[in-house]
Structures are given as structure tokens and as C-alpha cells.
Amino acid sequence: MPLRLKDLVKTAKANIDEITCDQVEDYQAQGYKTLDVREAAEYLDGTIPMSLHIPRGILEPKCDMCFEGHESELSDLNQPWIIFCQAGGRGALAAYTMQQMGYTNVINLAGGFNAWKAFGGPIETPPIEDGLIRCDHPWNPGFQGE
């Protein structure tokens, strides 16, 4: 019988670690970065401050160092990541995929961004100018820093 999405998420969750919103700050203090795998429209409505945004649909090529369009911030397989989506399912799938691709420290935020909002965690919206994230802001993928 073919698997359903709920089956795939259940398998992923059985093979990854998850944390709750009240643990995020402690994990960030240990060097974990946040990775938002939601779609662009969801991301533009707000995100956990300073999260790297890579939609779930393009995660594999962005993680694959052999792929021309890979994301340099994902080059270190030992960098710890807190993955989140809107409700927890896509984040679990992303964390499971990243583990399979060799990442050693990935965890999913249980309940995703919905749980984060209900928890009252800090939320920022990327600065938008002419419908795009401002080029001079660290949230912009092309930001070069100071």
C-alpha cells in the first residue's frame, strides 16, 4: 500500500529529535541556528529572528555541496540547526532529509511556527522594499556583511 504524507511524517519524527519552544533559547546559546523551511509567503508574514530561509521544496539542492546552487551557510555538516515549518510536519521531513544527507546536529521545532507564535517567542518580518527583501539586510541571501 502506498504511504501517505502522515506516514512519511510519522517515520521522520520517529528518526529525529524535536524540541519545544521553551528550549529554543538554550539551544541557540549552544550555537544552534534556525532554519525556516516554509514557503516564501509564510516567511514574509514573520519568522524567528535571523533564521535562514530555504523552502522545503528546494532544501536538497541547497544542502548538496556538489550542486552548483548549494547554500554556503549549509556547508558545515556539523553546524547545529533547529528546523521549523508552519506546524511541524515539513520541519520533521526536512530534519530527517538533512540527517540522511550527513548533517549531524539537526532537530525539529515541535509544532513549528504556529507553536512559536502561541508561545510568544520573538517574531520579526523581513524588511521589504519594492516587494523584495532589502539587499542590505542579513536576511537577504545575497547579503555580504560588513
User: What pLDDT, in 10s, does the model give residues 40-70?
Assistant: 889 888 999 989 999 999 999 999 999 888 8
Closest-CA residue to 118 (of 37, 22, 28): 22
Give the separation between CA 63 and CA 75, rounded to whole angstroms: 7
Closest-CA residue to 124 (of 143, 106, 137, 108): 137
pLDDT interval class at 128 (50, 70, 90): confident
Please give the distance of CA 146 from its chain centroid, rounded to a whole number.
24
Q: How many residues make up the chain in this entry?
A: 146
Phi then psi dihedrals of residue 73, to 5 deg: -65, -15
